[in-house]
Chain A
Amino acid sequence: MIDFEEELKKYEPAIEVEQAEADIKARDLTDLTDLLFNMTAQNNGTK
C-alpha cells in the first residue's frame, strides 16, 4: 500500500534551464582514477 505523503516526499523540483550552469559547476566529477591518483601521490610522498 502506497503512502501518498511519503511518496510525495520523493518528488523534488526539476532543474530549470537557468540553473543548468550552476548545476554543472556544483557537480563533483571525482572518479576512481582520481582517487587512485591521490592515493598513489600520497604513498609516493610518504616514501
Chain B
Amino acid sequence: MQCFMCGAEVGNEKVCYNCGADILLYKQIIYTSYVFYNQGLEKARVRDLSGAIESLKSSLQYYKYNTRARNLLGLCYYQIGEIVLALNEWVISKNLQEDNPDADRYLAEIENAPGFLSKINSTIKKYNQAVEYCKSGSKDLAIIQLKKVISQNPNFVKAHQLLALLYIEESKYADARKLLNQATKIDGNNTTTIRYIHEVKSRLKEQNTGRRKKKTDTVSFLDGNDTVVMSEKSFRSMLDNSGASLMNILLGLVLGLLICFFLVVPTVRDNAKDSNSKTVLALNEALAESKSKSDSLQSEIDSLKEDLSAYDDKQDVATSYDNLFAAENSYNAGDSETASQYIQLVTKEVLGEQGQQAYDTLYAALSPAIIQGYYDDGNNFYSEENYESAITNFKTVVDIDENYNNGAALFLLGDCYRLTDQTDLALECFEKVVELYPSNKWGKQAKVYIAADDTTLDAKEVGE
C-alpha cells in the first residue's frame, strides 16, 4: 500500500515513516466506506432502495473513489425513476475511474435507446409542472399531469407519492392506497410512502366507522349504473305503491298491443304487398331483358355459323386442287370415267384463275362422259321410280346440254315432274321438247301429254 500523502510504500505500517501521515485512519475510512457499500447492496437486494441510497451516499462521503458504490447508487436512482440523478452518478464514476466497464455499459444502454432521454425529459418537465400546479392550488391540473408522468415513467416514486398526497387531500383514499401500493413495489421501505399508507389507513378507518352509523337508517340499491340511496321510510312507501304501478304497466302493455294490431300490422301488410308487386315487375323486366339477350345471342350464333361455312369452303381449296390433279392424271391415263368422278368433286369457285382454266378445259373434255353418267343414273332412278333423284340427274344433264340424246333427257325430266305432280314444270319441259324435236318419239309423246294432259301413262312405257 502507498501513503495517501507522499506516495511512499508503507506496507502494514500505521504511520508513514516518510511524512508521518496517519495510514491507519485512512484505512479505517476506506474500510467504513466499504461497510456502507455492503449495507447498500444488501438493502438494494431486498428492494429497500431508499435505504440503499442512504447507505451508498454515506459510503461515498467516506471514499469518493468507491466506484462500485457509485455505480450501484446510480442503479438505485434509475430504479426509482430518477434517471438524471442516475446518469450523473455514472458520469462522475466514469470520470473518477476511467477503466469502468459497468458505468460504460449503463451509459451506452441509455445512449443507444432511441428517444429515451427525450421521453424522460418530458416526464420530468411534466412532473415539475405538476409541482408548480400543486403549489399554486391547481390540484386537478396537477393530478392530470402526474397521471401522464406515471404512465410514461411508471417507476417514478416521487410522482406516485405526490399524486397519492393529492388524492388524500381530495379524500380519494382508495386511489391513494392503490398508488402507494405500487410505489411500495418499486421502493419497499420508503419512509414517505409508509407514512402516507398509515395516513390513508387511518382515514379509511374513520370513514368506515362513519358509514356504519349512517347505514342504520338508509337503504341503497343499484338502478342501472347509479347507486340510489333512500331513507328507509320512503323506500317502504315506494314498495306500498308498487301494486298500483303494476296495474299501470299492465294497462300500458294492453294498449300497446291494441295499437300494434290496428295500426302497425295493416301498414306492414301493405308494405309487403307493394314489395311483392315490385318484385314481380322487376322479374318481368329481367325476363324481357334475358329474351332480348337470347335473340341477340341466336343472331350471333347464325353469323358465326355463316363464318364457319365460309371457313369450310376455304378448307375445300386444297381438296379441290387434289381432285383436279387426280382428274387430270386419270384423264391423261385414259380413264375418263374415274376422271369425271374426280372432276365432279372439284369446287370451281375456290380455285385460282389458272385452276379454273384447267378445270374448264378438263371439264369440256370430260363433259360427254359426265353427261352420260348423269343420264344413266337418271334413267336408273327413273326405272326404280325414285323420281326425286332422277330429277336431280336429268336436270344436271339438261343444264349442260338441253338437246342431249335428241330431247330424251328433257322429256324424261318433264315426265319426272309430271309423276311428282309438278304439272307446270312438266308442261314447260314437254313444250320445249315439242319445240326442239316435234317429229321424234319424245316430241310426239310430249304433244300427247300436252294435248290430253294425260297423266295416266306408265313411266316404264317411255323410259329407256
Contacts of B195 in A (CB 8 A): 2
A-contacting residues, B125-159, CB 8 Å: 125, 127-128, 131-132, 134-135, 158
Do B22 and A36 have beta carbons less than 8 Å apart? yes
Do B19 and A4 have beta carbons less than 8 Å apart? no
Contacts of B30 in A (CB 8 A): 33
In the complex, A18→B82 CA distance in Å? 14
In the complex, A11→B146 CA distance in Å? 13
Shortest CB-to-CB span from B361 to chain A, Å, is 113
Do B196 and A17 have beta carbons less than 8 Å apart? no
Chain B CB count within 10 A is highest, among A8, A12, A44, for A8
Any A CB within 8 A of the CB of B448: no
Taking CB as reference atom, which chain A residue is nearest B117? A17
Do B84 and A7 have beta carbons less than 8 Å apart? no
Q: Mark A31-47, 1 if CB is under 8 A from B, else 0.
A: 11110110011011000
Do B84 and A14 have beta carbons less than 8 Å apart? yes
Q: Mark A10-33, 1 if CB is under 8 A from B, else 0.
A: 111111111110011001011111
Taking CB as reference atom, which chain A residue is nearest B85? A15
Partner of B84, one of A17, A40, A43: A17
Contacts of A11 in B (CB 8 A): 131, 134, 158, 162
Contacts of B135 in A (CB 8 A): 8
Taking CB as reference atom, which chain B residue is nearest A1? B199
Contacts of B165 in A (CB 8 A): 2, 4, 7-8
In the complex, A16→B120 CA distance in Å? 9
Any A CB within 8 A of the CB of B194: no
In the complex, A43→B256 CA distance in Å? 108
Contact residues on B (Cβ < 8 Å of other chain), bracket: 35 or more
Do A16 and B117 have beta carbons less than 8 Å apart? no
Contacts of B82 in A (CB 8 A): 14
Any A CB within 8 A of the CB of B63: yes
Shortest CB-to-CB span from B28 to chain A, Å, is 10
Any A CB within 8 A of the CB of B26: yes
Taking CB as reference atom, which chain A residue is nearest B81? A14
In the complex, A4→B21 CA distance in Å? 52
Contacts of B192 in A (CB 8 A): 10
Shortest CB-to-CB span from B400 to chain A, Å, is 117
In the complex, A1→B62 CA distance in Å? 37
Do B22 and A2 have beta carbons less than 8 Å apart? no
Shortest CB-to-CB span from A24 to chain B, Å, is 5
Contacts of A12 in B (CB 8 A): 131
A-contacting residues, B209-242, CB 8 Å: none
Do A33 and B162 have beta carbons less than 8 Å apart? no
Taking CB as reference atom, which chain A residue is nearest B30? A33
Contacts of A4 in B (CB 8 A): 165, 168-169
In the complex, A1→B195 CA distance in Å? 10
In the complex, A44→B134 CA distance in Å? 55
Shortest CB-to-CB span from A25 to chain B, Å, is 10
In the complex, A7→B195 CA distance in Å? 11
Contact of A44 with B20 at beta-carbon distance under 8 Å, contacts A14-B124, A14-B127, A17-B117 already known: yes
Contact of A36 with B4 at beta-carbon distance under 8 Å, contacts A2-B196, A15-B85, A27-B92 already known: yes
Partner of A40, one of B22, B60, B65: B22
Partner of A24, one of B19, B88, B169: B88
Taking CB as reference atom, which chain A residue is nearest B5? A40
Any A CB within 8 A of the CB of B121: yes
Do A32 and B62 have beta carbons less than 8 Å apart? yes
Do B60 and A31 have beta carbons less than 8 Å apart? yes
Contact of A15 with B124 at beta-carbon distance under 8 Å, contacts A2-B195, A8-B135 already known: yes
Do A44 and B19 have beta carbons less than 8 Å apart? yes
Shortest CB-to-CB span from A28 to chain B, Å, is 10
Do B29 and A32 have beta carbons less than 8 Å apart? yes
Any A CB within 8 A of the CB of B61: yes
Do A20 and B21 have beta carbons less than 8 Å apart? no
Taking CB as reference atom, which chain B residue is nearest A7? B165
Partner of B5, one of A13, A19, A41: A41
Contacts of A32 in B (CB 8 A): 29, 61-63
Contacts of A16 in B (CB 8 A): 84, 121, 124-125, 128
Closest 10 CB pairs of A and B: A13-B128, A31-B64, A17-B121, A15-B84, A32-B29, A4-B169, A40-B21, A32-B62, A14-B124, A2-B199
Query: 11 A-B contacts, Cβ less than 8 Å apart?
Result: A4-B165, A13-B127, A14-B82, A15-B85, A16-B84, A20-B91, A33-B29, A36-B26, A37-B5, A41-B5, A44-B19
Known: A4-B165, A31-B61, A40-B21. 4 other contacts (CB 8 A): A2-B168, A15-B88, A33-B30, A43-B20
